Amino acid sequence: MIQLENVTKVLSGRTILSNLSVTIEEGETLVLLGRSGTGKSVTLRHIVGLMQPDSGRVEVLGKSLTETSTDQLAAVRSQVGYLFQDGALLNWLSIAENVALPLLETHKLAKSEVDQRVKDALREVELDQHGDKLPGEISGGMRKRAGLARALVSHPKIVLHDEPTSGLDPISSSIINKLVNRLKTTGITQVLVTHDMNSAFEVADRIALLHEGQIHALENVDDFRDSADPAVRQFLEGQISGPLSRGLLDGSSND
């Protein structure tokens, strides 16, 4: 479903991804963990074609994004939903108009169908009472849910979440986790970038730890939780010293 093969990306002279390879199967929910600056969001941006690798290959839904035309990229993107950290809603449109935007701009649907899909998406994220409000009039958690509704309204096969629970209170985080788990039951493939360990264990099928631009560990949830790998243990236990700090302490880290 999603395949990254030896992907390398250098930004402003820093190697963010270094021969990163990972395959995400259809219907799977993969959580990407790692310290800040290890390239988790950059990986997501490659999956949706917002960034092109300097070398390596990205394949999504059987199509290579590294050798694709604009139209093919648009075709792939129409099957991918992306939840941004702050929702990335357009502030002059109401929540309902934001959710309707991809349908109105890129799908030729009847108005009644657009209205119905928007209604369903807003109900899915429990925002059906807030469709008329502007993004500035609702809380951060509601904005994220509205962003998720917009990501889902086109009925995507893949949903990418960039820190879906960051900055949220525990209850709002639980609502988001519940939504992610509900999406799992529909067979949607999901990739989440998060620092929230509770969220990772609650929603993941597999967890990957990124370090120095590569997948350092990739395990199912239970194996990851019980892993004896020193880097995984350091990350899970939040220890200051350890393999993940090596670059940081000697000044050669990407952070």
Q: Which residue ranges make up the site for another protein (CB under 8 A)?
A: 45, 48, 50, 74, 77-78, 80, 82, 84-86, 88-90, 101-102, 104-106, 150, 154
Shortest distance, CB of residue 160 to another protein, whole angstroms? 9
Dihedral, 154, 66, 160, 220 alpha carbons, nearest 10? 130
Shortest distance, CB of residue 16 to another protein, whole angstroms? 16
Tell me how far CA of residue 219 lies from CA of 23, 60, 63, 223, in angstroms. 13, 22, 26, 6
**Cα–Cα distance for residue pair 11/144, rounded to 1 Å:** 28
Shortest distance, CB of residue 34 to another protein, whole angstroms? 20
Measured from the CB atom, is 18 or 85 closer to another protein? 85
* Phi, psi torsion values for 25, nearest 5 degrees: -80, 160
Shortest distance, CB of residue 230 to another protein, whole angstroms? 35
Measured from the CB atom, is 98 or 165 closer to another protein? 98
Measured from the CB atom, is 88 or 134 closer to another protein? 88
Measured from the CB atom, is 76 or 236 closer to another protein? 76
Shortest distance, CB of residue 93 to another protein, whole angstroms? 11
Residues β-bridged to residue 189: 158
Measured from the CB atom, is 133 or 206 closer to another protein? 133
- Residue for token pair 């030729």: 108
